[in-house]
Amino acid sequence: MNAVNFRQDQAWGDLLLRWWQGLDDDRGGRAALRRAPDITAVVMLPAYQRLHRRLLAAGWPAETWRNDHLAAAAGLLAHVKQNAGPALPVAMSQHDGDKRTVSPLRFTRLLESPDIDTLFAGLRRTLPLLQHQADVLALATDVVNWGDAVKKRWAYGYDWPDKAGA
């Protein structure tokens, strides 16, 4: 399984970024994606299908599991209002005093997501805590490649508290 890396200087990354930017003009599409309760609902939406068709035309692999991960990424990107901020684990571990943006317990639950559906649900609840800001291409790359390597990178990137329970 080859990892996908969405970068702005390559076709898939450019297509994904332009699709996300286009959601500003497709408010109905963005709203439908934001309301989608699960990945199956995302897959059935025209806004996602447009992205999928464009990526297929650019050589996107047609494996079902990869498309499910892409659908999860698209559904989550509809919740991102600003393409900004540090890497997700860094953003989640930023803190004001002792309180982190995303608590170590919630972050651990994200890392323990057994499948893409659980990750989708967890990140959907987490993005508002980040003020709907994320690096669009990094988020998509991590969701599409979700597995042990990404989980480990996130675990190393999170600023864990010195004390248990903090």
pLDDT digits (tens, 9 = 90+) for 70-91: 999 999 999 999 999 899 999 9
Read off the DSSP letter of residue 129: G
**Residue 95's pLDDT band (boundaries 50, 70, 90)?**
confident
pTM here?
A: 0.93
Is 85 within the bounds of a domain?
yes
Structural domain count, the chain: 1
Is 163 within the bounds of a domain?
no
Which residue carries 């898939």 as its tokens? 12
Is 78 within the bounds of a domain?
yes
Is 165 within the bounds of a domain?
no
**Residue 99's pLDDT band (boundaries 50, 70, 90)?**
confident
Q: What is the mean pLDDT of residues 22-42?
A: 96
Point out which residues pair with 95 in neighbouring strands. Answer: 100
Q: Output the pLDDT for position 97.
A: 74
Strand (E) or helix (H) holding 65: helix 64-77
Q: What is the largest CA-CA distance in the chain?
A: 50
**Residue 164's pLDDT band (boundaries 50, 70, 90)?**
low
Q: How many residues are there in the chain?
A: 166
CATH of the domain at 51: 1.10.520.40
CA gyration radius, the chain: 16
Q: Output the pLDDT for position 5.
A: 87
Is 146 within the bounds of a domain?
yes
Q: 102-106 long-range CB contacts below 8 Å, 24 or more apart?
A: 102/126, 102/129, 102/130, 104/158, 104/160, 104/161, 104/165, 104/166
**Domain that residue 130 falls in:** 11-157
